[in-house]
Amino acid sequence: MKRFDWSSLDEGGRRAALARPARRAEARVTEGVRAMLDDVRARGGTAVTEWALKLDGHAPRRIVLDVATVAEARAALPPADVRALRVAADNVRVFHQATRPGDGDWVETTPGVRSRIAWRPIRSAGIYVPGGTAPLFSSLLMQAIPAEVAGVPVRVAVTPPAKDGGIHPAMILAGAEAGLDEIWLVGGAQAIAALTFGASFDDGVIPTCDKLFGPGNAWVAEAKKQAAALPGGPAVDMPAGPSELMVVVDRDAAPEIAAADLLSQAEHDADAQVVLVSTSRATIDYVLTEVEAQLADLPRADVARASLAEARAILVRDLDAALEVINAYGPEHLALQVEYADELVDGITAAGAVFVGRHAAETLGDYAAGPSHVLPTDGGARTLGGITTASFMTSMSVQAVTAGGAAELAPVAARLARLEGLEAHARAADLRSEA
């Protein structure tokens, strides 16, 4: 883990201290994704199949979530696991139902001129669920359930196959809890290409989707970025690449908790980044010592060590300086393990999700608290939020005008139109005031 003293750094040094791993922007990723998108656009499902066989060793496959398949998956898991998954699904649904935006009240700006905001679900959502080395069924819940609550009629879920070409039973149950009819086993940039252009296979069709969602590795993140840049291409939720966590601690923090939280994200991916920020040099030492101790028996220690090579430990003068670091970095996840942590929240302007106090473990948010854990990475939190029900909806203004309202407002609009040199606009307004 690289160490920095924030107060001793100039502007360039501070940018370097907060830099994301260079591997996320390698030229080979950009060029490889471009080639894959071009190939799938030209050859459809045939190209997707070839890329899937080359990269994952298995052709795309559709898993229908019928009664028998779901029952078999449920029987394959301990009852306690099934109950835990259901509690998580229920919490996600409750939170998103409570925060679903509804049509606004009418606002009268001029007598007889009323407007309001109306919300509608998008037509189709492509939901990418990371997998492969670990079945991240929680990401399926965190996307498919908000989409269901929003009322999206077409939800297409894709996830990489397991090494044996199959699917973890928990992924099947998560899909069933979210009300999905099927899950496609295809991952990586080739899955994003399929969702972008549509793809036909022997056992079904992945349709073109209006908006793409979900976190993924550097290849998936780049594929979403390039897909969104295509003429007529899909919208995307946010930059949601390899995971990030910033943990802010003071001298009274529990080193074992801070270390556990850092490792919980480091074990995700070699490109994941964790950042420790502290007002105490001694606390940084204690936490880093604890990180090494906990690494010893961590099953994914190799992945975590690779991630820790790009980790940062930053010493700050005080909590005001810590806020400066937070808002400059814009972390995906932010854990505040300091005294009076709740008082810092008002000063935070850039974070995907904030976990206040030592009891608010980021892991709780990852699985079962309710809000979606699909959050912006790579500094996206400076301008974007994480997935909510509104992410799967569009808003439109609705305007209603009476004859009296038109007579009142049309002369104003006509004068402004002529001021801009748009005579046809002005005449359209004039006709309303004369009616």
State residue 218's pLDDT score.
Answer: 84
Out of 96, 268, 333, 373, pick the active-site residue: 333
pLDDT-based confidence at residue 241 (cuts at 50, 70, 90):
confident
Q: Which pLDDT value is given to residue 216?
A: 86
Span 27-46, average pLDDT: 94
Q: E strands within 293-389?
A: 312-315, 333-337, 353-356
What are the start-end ranges of the E strands in 186-272?
A: 199-201, 204-206, 211-213, 235-236, 244-249
Q: Which of 290, 332, 362, 373 is catalytic?
A: 332
* CA nearest neighbour of 95 among 389, 394, 420: 389
Query: Does 433 or 400 have the greater pLDDT score?
Result: 400
- Average of pLDDT values for 296-311? 93
Question: What is the pLDDT, as a whole number, of residue 284?
Answer: 97
Residue type, 384: L
- Residues 77-100 have a mean pLDDT of 97
Which of 88-102, 166-180, 210-224, 321-335 shows the lowest mean pLDDT across its residues? 210-224
The pLDDT, as a whole number, for residue 275 is 97
pTM over the 0.75 mark: yes
Q: Is the pLDDT of residue 433 over 90?
A: no
Place of tokens 């994301």: 20
In CATH, what number does 2-21+242-370 get?
3.40.50.1980
Q: Answer whether 2-21+242-370 and 27-240 agree in fold.
A: yes
Does residue 114 have a pLDDT over 80? Answer: yes
Mean pLDDT rounded to a whole number for the chain: 94
Instruction: Give the pLDDT mean for 322-332.
Output: 97
R_g of the chain, CA atoms, integer Å: 25
What would the CATH number be for the domain defined by 27-240?
A: 3.40.50.1980
Residue range 405-427: mean pLDDT, rounded: 96
Res. 393 pLDDT band, cuts 50 70 90: very high
Q: pLDDT at residue 18 above 90?
A: yes
The residue ranges of every structural domain in the chain are 2-21+242-370, 27-240, 402-434
Mean pLDDT of 239-267: 93
Q: What is the mean pLDDT of residues 84-113?
A: 96
Assess whether pLDDT exceeds 80 at residue 354: yes
Q: Name the band, by pLDDT with cuts 50, 70 and 90, for residue 24.
A: low
Residue 435 has pLDDT above 80, yes or no: no
Residue 205 CA to its chain's centroid (Å): 25
User: Alpha carbon of 95 to those of 176, 251, 360: distances in Å?
Assistant: 19, 34, 17
Annotation marks residue 324 as catalytic: no
Residues 167-196 have pLDDT tens digits of 999 999 999 999 999 999 999 999 999 999
Residue 332 appears among annotated catalytic residues: yes
pLDDT of residue 25: 62
Cα 286 from Cα 227, distance rounded (Å): 44
Distance (Å) of CA 171 to CA 155, 242, 289, 412, 430:
15, 20, 36, 58, 60
If you average pLDDT over residues 363-372, what whole number do you get?
90
The answer, yes or no, to whether residue 125 has pLDDT greater than 80, is yes
How many whole angstroms separate alpha carbon 155 and alpha carbon 177? 14
> Given this model, what pLDDT does residue 245 score?
96
